[in-house]
């Protein structure tokens, strides 16, 4: 009988990195004058406030945030993302997060990032973290360009659980012995179904919930 390799699941933004890559990508686009700065920043800030409050309309947000991707060629987007990684993401790197990932690798756990941010933004970040398995919001493509629409179920709130369950059906793994690390109250549905929920530098609402339920709370900030 093959040994069980428990799933070690991680949210990305404000968990494994010290910031929100999705929000920061929007900010980055305003500095590059790719979007109308005043309008985009105002809407981006409001959506982020809604997200932090656990009240985000994910479909409205995705329609807004993905629109700029549809106006640029993949070569332009890839060049922008390389600059984004260097200038914005690298300063968010957390040594304690890397140490946590190493601990799980040493135990031969199966590592996966489960994030509501879209795959275009997060795939290079996960590659840099050395995490092969990724569930993210998928983007529709046509003629090697993003259409501005999503493909399938957004991996947000209960959508994370649905997407993970769909993935589990294609693997020989289960949630037995699993852990999930997150900072956000939006991840409560997934935290509730794993064996070992862990609040990481949690937002006030998740901190309160973790305390009430007796969940482990840690910090990965230096």
What amino acid positions are annotated as catalytic residues?
Answer: 11, 13
Listed in sequence order, the residues at least 6 apart from 68 whose beta carbon sits closer than 8 Å to its beta carbon are 29, 34, 35
44 CB neighbour count, 10 Å cutoff: 22
Question: Hey, which residues does 180 pair with through a beta bridge?
Answer: 9, 197
Question: Hey, which residues does 216 pair with through a beta bridge?
Answer: 198
Torsion, CA 91, CA 56, CA 197, CA 194, rounded to 10: -120
- Return contacts of 32-38, CB within 8 angstroms, 24+ apart: 32/80, 34/68, 34/72, 34/80, 35/68
Task: Output the six-digit token pair for 4.
Answer: 């069980």
Task: Output the six-digit token pair for 63.
Answer: 């329609």
Alpha-carbon distance of 160 to 114, in angstroms, equals: 7
Task: Output the six-digit token pair for 182.
Answer: 């997150």
């Amino acid at each position: 009988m093959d040994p069980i390799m428990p799933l070690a699941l991680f949210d990305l933004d404000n968990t494994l990195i010290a910031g929100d890559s999705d929000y920061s990508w929007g900010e980055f686009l305003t500095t590059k004058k790719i979007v109308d700065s005043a309008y985009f920043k105002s809407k981006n800030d409001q959506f982020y406030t809604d997200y932090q409050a656990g009240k985000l309309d994910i479909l409205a947000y995705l329609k807004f945030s993905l629109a700029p991707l549809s106006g640029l060629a993949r070569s332009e987007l890839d060049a922008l993302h390389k600059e984004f990684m260097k200038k914005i993401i690298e300063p968010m790197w957390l040594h304690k997060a890397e140490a946590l990932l190493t601990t799980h690798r040493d135990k031969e756990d199966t590592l996966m990032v489960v994030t509501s941010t879209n795959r275009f933004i997060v795939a290079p970040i996960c590659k840099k973290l050395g995490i092969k398995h990724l569930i993210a919001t998928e983007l529709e493509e046509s003629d090697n360009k993003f259409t501005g629409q999503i493909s399938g179920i957004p991996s947000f709130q209960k959508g994370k659980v649905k997407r993970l369950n769909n993935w589990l059906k294609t693997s020989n793994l289960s949630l037995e012995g699993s852990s999930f690390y997150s900072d956000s109250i939006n991840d409560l549905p997934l935290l509730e179904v794993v064996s070992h929920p862990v609040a990481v530098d949690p937002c006030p609402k998740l901190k309160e919930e973790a305390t009430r339920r007796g969940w482990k709370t840690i910090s990965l900030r230096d």
